[in-house]
Amino acid sequence: MSRELYAKGLDRGPANFAVQSPIQFIERAATAYPNKVAVIHGELTRSWSQTYQRCKMLASALQKLGIQRSETVAVMLPNTPPMVEAHFGIAMAGAVLCALNTRQDARALAYMLEHSEAKVLIVDQEFAAVIAAALLILKEKNAELPIVIEVDDPLYVGPRQRLGKIDYEAFLESENAQFSIMWPEDEWDPICLNYTSGTTGNPKGVVYSHRGAYTNGISNALEWGMQRHPIYLWVLPMFHCNGWCFPWTVAAMAGVNVCLRRIEAQPIFDAIRNHQVTHYCGAPIVQNMLINAPQSMKLGIHHRVQTMVGGAAPPAAMIEGMEKMGFEILHAYGLTEVYGPVLISVQQDEWAGLSLEARAELNSRQGICKQLEQAVAVLDPESMQPVPADGETIGEIMIRGNVVMRGYLKNPEATAAALKGGWFHSGDLAVVYPDGYMKIKDRSKDIIISGGENISSIEVEDALYRHPAVLAAAVVAKPDERWGETPCAFIELKPGAAATGDDIIAHCRGLLAGFKVPKTIIFQELPKTATGKIQKFELRNHFQHSAPR
Interface ranges with ligand ADP (CB under 6 A) = 196-197, 310-313, 331, 333-336, 366, 426, 428, 440, 443, 531, 533
Closer residue to ligand ADP (CB): 94 or 237: 237
Q: What is the spatial order of strands in the sheet that 424-432 belongs to?
A: 375-379, 395-400, 424-432, 438-443
Closer residue to ligand ADP (CB): 230 or 334: 334
Q: How far apart are CA 497 and CA 528, in angstroms?
A: 21
Least CB distance to ligand ADP at residue 143 (A): 24
Least CB distance to ligand ADP at residue 47 (A): 33
Selection from 131, 117, 134, 137 nearest residue 207 by Cα: 117
Closer residue to ligand ADP (CB): 210 or 441: 441
Closer residue to ligand ADP (CB): 125 or 336: 336
CA atoms within 13 A on the CB side of 368: 12
Inter-residue contact 492 to 524 (CB < 8 Å)? yes
Least CB distance to ligand ADP at residue 309 (A): 7
Question: Helix count (H) and strand count (E) of the chain?
Answer: 18, 26
Inter-residue contact 38 to 51 (CB < 8 Å)? yes
Q: How far apart are CA 353 and CA 135, in angstroms?
A: 58
Least CB distance to ligand ADP at residue 310 (A): 4
335: Cα separation from own chain's centroid:
7
Closer residue to ligand ADP (CB): 42 or 436: 436
Residue 145 to residues 55, 150, 164, 220: CA-CA distances in angstroms? Answer: 24, 15, 12, 36
Q: How far apart are CA 198 and CA 105, in angstroms?
A: 13
Least CB distance to ligand ADP at residue 202 (A): 13
Inter-residue contact 460 to 513 (CB < 8 Å)? no
E strands in 11-118: 37-41, 44-47, 72-76, 96-99
Least CB distance to ligand ADP at residue 540 (A): 15
Closer residue to ligand ADP (CB): 367 or 487: 367
Closer residue to ligand ADP (CB): 37 or 193: 193
Classify residue 232 as left (phi > 0), alpha (psi -120 to 50) or beta.
Answer: beta
Closer residue to ligand ADP (CB): 335 or 394: 335
Least CB distance to ligand ADP at residue 290 (A): 17
Beta bridge partners of 474: 490
Least CB distance to ligand ADP at residue 162 (A): 32
Q: How far apart are CA 318 and CA 465, in angstroms?
A: 8
Closer residue to ligand ADP (CB): 146 or 310: 310
Inter-residue contact 208 to 399 (CB < 8 Å)? no
Least CB distance to ligand ADP at residue 412 (A): 20
Closer residue to ligand ADP (CB): 144 or 328: 328
3-state secondary structure of 306: strand
Residue 213 to residues 210, 318, 338, 374: CA-CA distances in angstroms? Answer: 5, 30, 10, 15
Closer residue to ligand ADP (CB): 19 or 530: 530
Least CB distance to ligand ADP at residue 438 (A): 10
* Neighbouring residues of 313: CB distance < 8 A, sequence distance ≥ 6: 284, 364, 366, 440, 458, 461, 462
Closer residue to ligand ADP (CB): 172 or 409: 409
Least CB distance to ligand ADP at residue 343 (A): 7
3-state secondary structure of 523: strand
Q: How far apart are CA 395 and CA 3, in angstroms?
A: 40
Least CB distance to ligand ADP at residue 341 (A): 8
